[in-house]
Amino acid sequence: MKCCGPGYASPAEAVKAPSEKLLYTIAIYTGTGIQKPDYLATVDVDPDSPTYSRVIHRLEMPGIGDELHHMGWNACSSCFDDAGMSRKYLILPGVRSNNLHIVDTATDPRAPRLHKVIDGAEIKAKTNLSGPHTVHCLGSEIIISFLGDAKGEAPGGYLHLNKEFEIQGRWENSMGDIKFGYDFWYQPRHNVMVSSEWAAPNTFMPGFDLEEVGHLKYGRELHFWDFEKREPVESFYLGEDGLLPLEVKFHHDPDSTHGFCGAALSTNVIHWWKNGDTWLWEKIIDIENEMHPDWPIPLPGVMSAILISMDDKYLYLNNWLHGDMRQYDIRDPHNPKLTGQVFLGGLLGKAPTVNGVEVAGGPQMFQLSLDGKRLYVTTSLFSTWDNQFYPEIRTKGGVMVMIDCDPVNGGMKIAEDFIIDFGKEPNGPSRCHEARYPGGDCTSDIWL
């Protein structure tokens, strides 16, 4: 084997990697009333360290109001054979400002530093894109999904950056008939990319008007792309089973054609796979709405994220409004089995306090350790949506919780010695969101 670019030779090698000692999560002040920049927090997750379970560094962005959200690496295991590449930079898009912050995490992993900012106005001027979301490294380049045009109208498209973080223009050759953008994942051995649909920035940024779903302002389709031709070739209309199809994940195994999407509002997991030359889909998990004692409309779970363990054995999902995290055994992807469930926060009042901290919000974003044993969960979704469903998050801030997961027999349990209360941050209550490890994680790496 040639040695060694970033990441791991295979998912099986990644599972054997040493345990994470640090993780990065973004934390926002946008929408909180505190006029301070959003920041990247370094969290100590080494149980042998004296500062375990604490924020040990904060890198503030240069401006106020970015709304940091998701993030991605400049390089991943898709460059494993390329010794000229290294996983050195984390890219932090600002959903509201359109700025892309390039952060150097390698020079001092405990104290990341800002390397470069790609100005949001320049991106609008050169590519007519706004509302950045998912970042993926594609070997020798980087692409980022944007949900709108420069005026916030759907469907947006994909920004193409080279590895020096220079704007190359639009990545896609065509958006076809796609109405909305959101997340995407690709599986190069099958020349396929799958993209999902949230809504236009002008629709979701101000908050969630449920009534707009019926007016077709939110997505309900999945799109299959010819990855090399950079154009969509087939779309699945998911209908009522697939309202707000958000996170898209393929199996980590690069030979597999199985993939999954969480339809947030329907609170269903959609599974697809290839049978001969034909892509097929089915609904494999359907979480029932719950009645809140005082409310007129049944409450959906709102499955805003899903994650596949590095060994492709378990699927994790959240119900942001119900307040639970679940683990399903998906070794038979047509027949998932519920193997674990824990509650933290949520609107049903099942776990208002975790490890002594009052939880505002519900389980929202999560990151799993490569060995599948530790799941880090945060509670804020998006500033305006938080403000609608969990107004108390303004004064309480977000939390990060760790769940011990059993990767052999299944099962989940909240770790009692770990919690980070972002309500106690030095500048006031902030809200944490996506988390990543310096060495790559279960939602970053793709194998060629």
Strand order in the sheet with 130-137: 130-137, 141-148, 157-162, 167-170
Least distance from another protein to the Cβ atom of residue 393, Å: 11
**From candidates 106, 384, 410, 415, binder to another protein by CB under 8 A:** 384
Residue from 33, 62, 169, 239 in contact with another protein (CB under 8 A) = 33
Of the pair 208, 272, the CB lying nearest another protein is at 208
Instruction: Pick the closest to residue 425 from 111, 80, 120, 26 (CA basis).
Output: 26
Q: Which of the stretches 45-53, 173-181, 203-211, 233-241 binds another protein when contact is defined by CB under 8 A?
A: 203-211
Residue closer to another protein by CB (options 205, 342) is 205
* Residue 366 interacts with another protein (CB under 8 A): yes or no: no
Does residue 108 touch another protein according to CB under 8 A? no
When asked if residue 295 is in the footprint of another protein (CB under 8 A), the reply is yes
- Nearest of 99, 178, 80 to residue 137 by alpha carbon: 80
Residue 372 tokens read as: 């599948």
State the distance between the two ends of the chain, measured CA to CA, in whole angstroms: 15
Task: Please say whether the dihedral angle defined by the alpha carbons of residues 289, 291, 297 and 300, taken in this order, is positive or negative.
Answer: negative
31 binds another protein (CB under 8 A): yes
Nearer of residues 99 and 105 to another protein, judged by Cβ: 99
Site string for another protein, 322-361 (x = CB under 8 A): ----------------------------------------
Among 29, 148, 150, 8, residue whose Cα is nearest residue 78: 8
CB 437 within 8 A of CB 243: no
Beta strand residue intervals within 29-170, DSSP E: 39-44, 54-60, 72-73, 89-93, 100-104, 113-118, 130-137, 141-148, 157-162, 167-170
Does position 255 interact with another protein (CB under 8 A)? The reply is: no
Residue in 296, 356, 409, 426 binding another protein, rule: CB under 8 A: 296
Q: Coil, strand, or helix at residue 347? A: coil
Any residues with CB less than 8 A from the CB of 110 and at least 6 apart, and which? Answer: 22, 42, 56, 57
Q: Is 288 in the site for another protein (CB under 8 A)?
A: no
Determine, following the binding rule CB under 8 A, whether residue 210 of this chain makes contact with another protein: yes
Residues 126-155 that bind another protein (CB under 8 A): 130, 151-152
In whole angstroms, the minimum distance from the beta carbon of 202 to another protein comes to 4
Residue 428 engages another protein in binding (rule: CB under 8 A): no
The residues that bridge with 248 in the sheet, in sequence order, are 261
Q: Is the dihedral of CA 108, 109, 111, 113 positive or negative?
A: positive
Number of residues that bind another protein (CB under 8 A): 38
Among 388, 392, 413, 448, binds another protein (CB under 8 A): 388
Q: What does the alpha-carbon distance between residue 20 and residue 24 come to, in Å, rounded to a whole number?
A: 11
Rounded Cα–Cα distance for residues 365 and 288 (Å): 21
From 78-86, 204-212, 324-332, 371-379, span contacting another protein (CB under 8 A): 204-212
Gap between the Cα atoms of 155 and 181, Å rounded: 5
List residues near another protein by CB under 8 A. Answer: 30-33, 35, 64-65, 67, 96-97, 130, 151-152, 201-202, 205-212, 215, 217, 292, 294-299, 384, 387-389, 391, 394
